Every structure is written in C-alpha cells, then in structure tokens.
Amino acid sequence: MTSQTEGSGYLVRAVRPHEWAAVKALRLDALRDPVAPLAFLDTYEEAVARPDSFWQDRAVGSGEGSERARQFVAEAPDGTWAGTVTVLREEPGTEDWSGAAVERRQGHVVGVFVRPGHRGNGLIGALFDAGVEWAWEWGAERMRLFVHADNGRAQGAYRRLGFAPSGLVVSFAKDETENELEFVRER
C-alpha cells in the first residue's frame, strides 16, 4: 500500500525489509524526543545497544509482505522519513504485550512518531489511515492502542482520529505506579 497525502508531497508507504538502517535511525530519533519516556516502552540507551540483526529482523517482521505487523512511514519530498506508525496483528486466543488474552481480531497501533518539523499538518492522520486500512483488509474488528495517562497531546491526537478510551487501564511496564489507557476505534 502506498498513498500520496493530498497537497503535502508526503508519500505514505510500508517499510521495505532492506530499509532496516532507516528503521533504526527513525526509532533512535523517536527515543530522543522529549516525550519519549511517556510514549515508548524502551529507551534510547537500550535501542542503540541492539545489534544490527535486531533491526534487520524488525524491518523484515514489519515490512512489506509481513502478515503479522506492518510499519508505515511518511516519506517527505526530500526523501527523509517524517513519521511512522506500526500496526501489530492480534488474533483471538493469543496474548498481547502485557500478557492479557486477546479476545478479538484487532490491530494494535504502536511506535507512533512524527518528527517535530512535520507535526500539525495532518500527517499523523495519513499514517493512521494507512495502518487502519491495512488492518481492515485482513479482517480486524477494531483498532486499539495504549497511551500514557499523562500524555495529553497524544490522547488529543488519537481522539481526533476516531479513537476513544475503552476504560481499560494497565500498569506501565517499567513503573507499576504509572498507567497506560487503552483507546479503541471500532470498525
């Protein structure tokens, strides 16, 4: 799936397995963002220490042709990657990242990041549109994501994209005193 965002010059597309170095670079930039401690479950220090084989496997596992996950990027007119969204495929009878049982066929949005110079222009909507379309194509019944209880900016963006709190709250993986809120978008 590839799409041009109207009037912006951005190309939204799935990553390609051979683009692992660009996947790594974008993730490291995301982990240096000031809100990274609220938005991501790993740190820059953890990510930068991973071997190239980790990033190669990640690009293959979420790149074009993967059935279990799909990472979408927004490519700016100059060829740089402006943002990304990854959708994980979750099937009933499996466990999610927190160990909870998955009860519905659903897409799970993770790794949302738009570089600061590209925010506020609707790019996040184009990335989400690509991810949601991919999930609907394989029969997802709903989309979901988790957002830190203190990340108001992200919560506002997700609400504008049609997601709403489900009422499910889980403890943040690194600190049991912090909470992640599940937001969902039904088909």
Q: How many domains does the chain have?
A: 1
How far, in Å, CA of 114 to CA of 49, rounded?
23
How far, in Å, CA of 126 to CA of 42, rounded?
25
**pTM for this model (two decimals):** 0.91
**How confident is the model over 119-139, as pLDDT tens digits?**
999 999 999 999 999 999 999
How far, in Å, CA of 58 to CA of 127, rounded?
19
CATH number for the domain spanning 182: value is 3.40.630.30
Q: Which domain holds residue 178?
A: 2-186
**How confident is the model over 13-55, as pLDDT tens digits?**
999 999 999 999 999 999 999 988 888 988 999 999 999 999 9
